[in-house]
A and B are shown apart, each in its own frame.
Chain A
Amino acid sequence: MSTMRSLTFDAIIIGGGGAGLRAGLELSQSGKKTAVLSKVFPTRSHTVSAQGGITCAIASADPNDDWRWHMYDTVKGGDYIADQDAAEYMCTEGPKAVFELEHMGLPFSRFDNGRIYQRPFGGQSKDFGKGGQAARTCAAADRTGHALLHTLYQANLKNGTVFLDEWYAIDLVKNANGDIVGVIALCIETGETVVVKSKATVLATGGAGRIYASTTNALINTGDGIGMALRAGLPVQDMEMWQFHPTGIHGAGVLVTEGCRGEGGYLVNKDGERFMERYAPNAKDLAGRDVVARSMVLEILEGRGCGENGDHVFLKLDHLGEEVLNKRLPGISELSKTFAHVDPTNAPIPVVPTCHYMMGGIATNVHGQAIAQNEDGSDRIVNGLYAVGEVACVSVHGANRLGGNSLLDLVVFGRAAGKYIESALNEGVEYLEPTQSDIDAALVRLNRWNESESGESVPELKRELQQIMQNSFGVFRQEDKMEEGVKQLSDLRERIAKAGLSDKSQVFNTARIEALELDNLMEVAEATAIAALTRKESRGAHSRYDFPDRDDENWLKHSLFFPNEKRVGKRDVNFAPKTVERFEPKIRTY
């Protein structure tokens, strides 16, 4: 391995989705030698799929809108384990970040007065929940993610960011002091493995929805960043918190945006009843996603589901009329026709709650610095490592993310991390060079696959993993099922450790990539399972039959999963915003 090439950058950003590109832009604008490394060409990242919009109090739909209302909604939406300093930062910095996107050229839809179009989304209110539904989600039709990702890629081209397209990051390189000093990466096209050295390694690898059998996520969302962090011995936070989106197309898993309901669509059961009126009399179909998803599952369980098997409900849009559908939701009409064989102008779309978003991730502060824990429970900053976007848990989403808040999270914290890294580099940081054995340690996994003889195949093991997660860690959870799931996962881990890679070729070997991804799915699934089993309460997206109530006394906390001991600890939630009074936990109703 002594012939391995090394590359050196001031900052290496792993991931070319919205978060990675925003961080990359900030750094290349500052003149730092920055590379964005991505396993797919950047515009093929999952951000491209985001539909409904980016939520932010830019005061366009309502000139009196206030970032504090947005912050309140975010904290309440997160069932009070969102960090309030981070939510405050996101909601105050948000407008600047959104206007910057517009200045870069993002083709937002517009109101007649020329300002950015905003639509209502779930969980949004005016005046701290007292002023009715707000319309706070800035949109480019229903293709906001596409518009945002392409705009950011373009801005990076303009600013000369270096791109390592179709490179796969395998594992983090850790020096003797425990600082992260780079990453091992594989050029997919040639098969060459290199060590990329840097004083700032930014994980922006996105989500991991592919741990479930049914998900709205892209095939590439395999939680690689979480896997890398866990293998480096670092803890991850709130991994039990998975959002199930109410409107995945039944059978296909493909998403139709909450913007459909924002524009006036609603859910009905087999009797044609608008059932959300019963569960959330005020917000109805625009209650928090966790609330709507649970209500749907209850309708189905109680025999009011639609279709032959009664296993879904309907999203009704036809009353909106062709013009609204064509103008505001053109992509939805396309997806619905392709994947549900339904034209929403004249028939309802069959939908079912579908795994959508990972609220948990690598704990960070508002600068994107990764956080681990000292013996005494205090925070410890992990030198050299940063995380932004869905892989991070800063935590603005707490136990349940509000629609449109992820795209805002990406650009606000991608930007913040870029700014912080710039100043840290300017002040000068020095870490111990990695030794050969530090580098070898990060190569163990790749070598294992490369030397594997025969063994069970990757696709089959992946399918089993996804099925376990689907069965035992879905919308509703309970002890015995979860215990069984944890046990199955631990058996599966042993089998994966002996699985085989039959194709050992170098050039564009996608079988090798899928094998490496399976390791990461395994890490994410296990962290999720053990954290879910440990949190003995119901909060936000984590809903237990056996512990149906929120338990603020014991669990107004983040969970932290430690990989070496497979132990779950706790971390304090931040209740100290700088410029506003803290929001006290209240019973959450919509």
Chain B
Amino acid sequence: MLQVSIYRYNPETDTAPYMQEFQVDTQGRDLMVLNVMEMLKEQDSSLAYRRSCREGVCGSDGMNMNGKNGLTCVTALSEVVKDNKLVLRPLPGLPVVRDLVVDMSIFYKQYERIQPYLLNDTPAPAIERLQSPEDRDKLDGLYECILCACCSTACPSFWWNPDKFVGPSGLLQAYRFLADSRDTATKERLSELDDPFAVFRCRGIMNCVAVCPKGLNPTRAIGKIRELLLANAT
């Protein structure tokens, strides 16, 4: 029997959050954590969590599993369970709506802040804008972000300044547009980020890289933005 301990909080009935203990018979199968949660929900239908694609591409089910952020649908028990125990908590640092569901508003706000869309002030041609494969390659490792917030909610700098520090996810996206040969707004984008907090609060702790379920590297992108900012300043 797998021992599962889950963070519970329903603001309508609970004055404070608590941990609920469950026992799950996995029949020795190496299930995904999401499968285990579905089994628990059959025992207690009031358990709340988000999920959609169940294949690691939609970013709904970022969660803290035995202390590490990740997606429940692509995390096998064998990767996280220690001593037959699994502790599930909501992503750290964001307000809890209910149980494992967090309020992501501030995370989305930081995303919107970096103007996450292509800006190009030249008239569009009748066909596509051309881009060399080499230039397109520069977007690999950037555009694949699924906005799961695993990184930003593992980042101490984001915990302390979620309103001023854009955070690893937002900065990765900022760099995705800075790096796009089709974007003409580099100057404006950089000046938007040029304050002591937006980028420079990153302390290079690399928690973000360690947890990203898509294997992306926000720290490197942040380093590139810093370089651009410094080059721009001189």
A111 B117 Cβ-Cβ under 8 A: no
User: Does A271 sit within 8 A of B, measured CB to CB?
Assistant: no
By a CB distance below 8 angstroms, the chain A residues around B41 are: 459, 510-511
Assess the A503–B46 pair: CB atoms within 8 A: yes
B146 in the interface (beta carbon within 8 A): yes
A254 touches B128 (CB 8 A): no
Among A113, A338, A510, point to the contact of B48 (Cβ < 8 A). A510
A29 contacts partner chain B, Cβ-Cβ < 8 Å: no
> Is B42 an interface position by the 8 A CB rule?
yes
Whether A107 contacts B53 by the Cβ 8 Å rule is no
Q: Which of A154-162, A382-390, A437-445, A550-558 lies at the interface? A: A154-162
Using known A-B contacts A43-B146, A146-B144, A510-B49, determine if residue A218 contacts B132 with beta carbons closer than 8 Å.
Answer: no
On whether the beta carbons of B56 and A99 are closer than 8 Å, the reply is no
Contact partners of B127 in chain A: CB under 8 A = 58, 95, 99, 115
Give the residue name and chain of the B residue nearest to A459 (CB): B42
B51, A114: Cβ atoms closer than 8 Å? no
From B11, B48, B59, B76, contact of A44 by CB (8 A)? B59
User: Are A507's CB and B97's CB within 8 A?
Assistant: yes
Task: Give the distance in Å from the alpha carbon of A147 to the alpha carbon of B177 in the complex.
Answer: 13
Q: Does B195 contact A (CB under 8 A)?
A: no
How close is B232's CB to chain A, nearest CB, in angstroms? Answer: 22
| Distance between B194 CB and nearest chain A CB, rounded to angstroms | 22
- Nearest B residue to A506 by beta-carbon distance? B12
Q: Are B112 and A157 in contact (CB under 8 A)?
A: yes
Q: What is the bound-complex CA distance between A40 and B53, given in angstroms?
A: 11
Q: A147-B143, A511-B46 are in contact. Are A114 and B55 (CB under 8 A)?
A: no
Contact of A48 among B45, B53, B74, B177 (CB under 8 A): B53
A44 and B53 form a contact (CB under 8 A): yes
B54 close to chain A: CB less than 8 A: yes
Do B58 and A507 have beta carbons less than 8 Å apart? Answer: no
Asked if B231 is at the interface (CB within 8 A of a chain A CB), the reply is no
Query: By DSSP majority rule, is chain B's interface helix, strand, loop, or mixed?
Result: loop
| A47-83, CB < 8 A from B | 48-49, 58
> Of residues 1 to 42 in B, which have CB atoms within 8 Å of A's CB atoms?
10-13, 41-42
Interface contact A114-B131, CB-CB below 8 Å: yes
B205 at the interface (CB under 8 A from A): no
Residue of B nearest to A44 (CB): B58
Please give the distance in Å from B150's CB to the nearest CB on chain A.
14
Say which residue of A44, A151, A505 sits within 8 Å of B60 (CB atoms). A44
A220:B52 contact, CB within 8 angstroms: yes
Contact B13 A48 (CB under 8 A): no
Q: For A564, what are the chain B residues with a Cβ–Cβ distance below 8 Å?
A: none
**A160 to B49, alpha carbons, bound, how many Å?**
29
A7 at the interface (CB under 8 A from B): no
Whether B124 pairs with A146 at a CB distance below 8 angstroms is no
- A505 x B46 contact (CB < 8 A): yes
Contact with A along B110-137 (1 / 0, CB 8 A): 0010011110100010111111110010
Question: Within 8 Å of chain B (Cβ to Cβ): is A458?
Answer: yes
A219 within 8 A of B: yes
| A510 to B44 alpha-carbon distance, docked (Å) | 12
Q: Please report the C-alpha to C-alpha distance between residue A335 and residue B57 in the assembled complex, in whole angstroms.
A: 10
CB <8 Å contact, B101 and A338:
no
Q: Is the CB of B12 within 8 A of A103?
A: no
Residue of B nearest to A515 (CB): B45
0/1 per residue, A141-178, Cβ < 8 Å to B? 00100110011001101100000000000000000000
Give Cα A95–Cα B126 distance, bound, in whole angstroms: 10
Contact of B117 with A157 in the complex, beta carbons under 8 Å = yes
| Contact A43 B59, beta carbon cutoff 8 Å | yes
Q: Which of A99, A458, A502, A503 contacts B128 (CB 8 A)?
A: A99
- Chain A 319-355 interface residues, beta-carbon cutoff 8 Å to B: 331, 334-335, 338-339
* Inter-chain contacts of A115 with B (CB < 8 A): 127-128, 130
- Given A146-B57, A459-B41, are A507 and B12 neighbors across the interface (CB < 8 Å)? yes
| Bound form: Cα–Cα A451–B14 in Å | 23
Q: How far is A388 from B143 in the complex, measured between Cα atoms in Å?
A: 27
- Contact across chains for A102 and B10 when beta carbons are under 8 A apart: no
Q: Is A457 interfacial (CB 8 A cutoff)?
A: yes
Q: Is B206 an interface residue (CB 8 A)?
A: no
Residues in B neighbouring A510, C-beta threshold 8 A = 41, 48-49
B98: contacting residue among A44, A109, A219, A507, CB under 8 A: A507
CB distance A507 to B128 under 8 Å?
A: no
Of A44, A49, A111, A502, the contact of B45 (CB 8 Å cutoff)? A502
A112 in contact (CB, < 8 A): yes
Q: Find out whether the CB atom of B52 lies under 8 angstroms from the CB atom of A105.
A: no
Is B139 on the interface with A (CB-CB < 8 A)?
A: yes
Q: Of B45, B46, B104, B133, which is within 8 A of A110 by CB?
A: B133
Residue pair B13, A143 in contact (C-beta under 8 Å): no
Contact of B132 among A114, A189, A331, A508 (CB under 8 A): A114
Given contact pairs A110-B136, A220-B52, A507 touches B10 in the complex (Cβ within 8 A) = yes
Could you tell me which residues of chain A, from 457 to 507, have a CB within 8 Å of some CB in chain B? Answer: 457-459, 502-503, 505-507
4 shortest A-B CB distances, which residue pairs? A105-B118, A114-B130, A154-B117, A102-B128
Residues of B within 8 A of A (CB): 10-13, 41-42, 45-46, 48-60, 74, 76, 97-99, 101, 104, 108, 112, 115-118, 120, 124, 126-133, 136, 139, 143-144, 146-147, 177, 180, 182-183
Can you add 15 more A-B contacts, CB < 8 Å, to A335-B56, A339-B55?
A40-B52, A41-B60, A41-B108, A44-B60, A102-B129, A104-B118, A109-B136, A111-B133, A114-B132, A115-B127, A338-B55, A459-B42, A507-B97, A508-B101, A510-B41
- Chain A positions near chain B (C-beta within 8 angstroms): 40-41, 43-46, 48-49, 58, 95, 98-99, 102-105, 107-116, 140, 143, 146-147, 150-151, 154-155, 157-158, 189, 218-220, 254, 331, 334-335, 338-339, 457-459, 502-503, 505-511
A-B contact pairs, 25 of them (CB 8 A): A40-B50, A40-B58, A41-B60, A41-B108, A43-B58, A43-B146, A48-B53, A48-B57, A102-B128, A103-B120, A105-B118, A107-B143, A115-B127, A115-B128, A115-B130, A140-B143, A154-B117, A154-B118, A158-B117, A189-B97, A218-B54, A219-B51, A338-B55, A503-B46, A510-B49
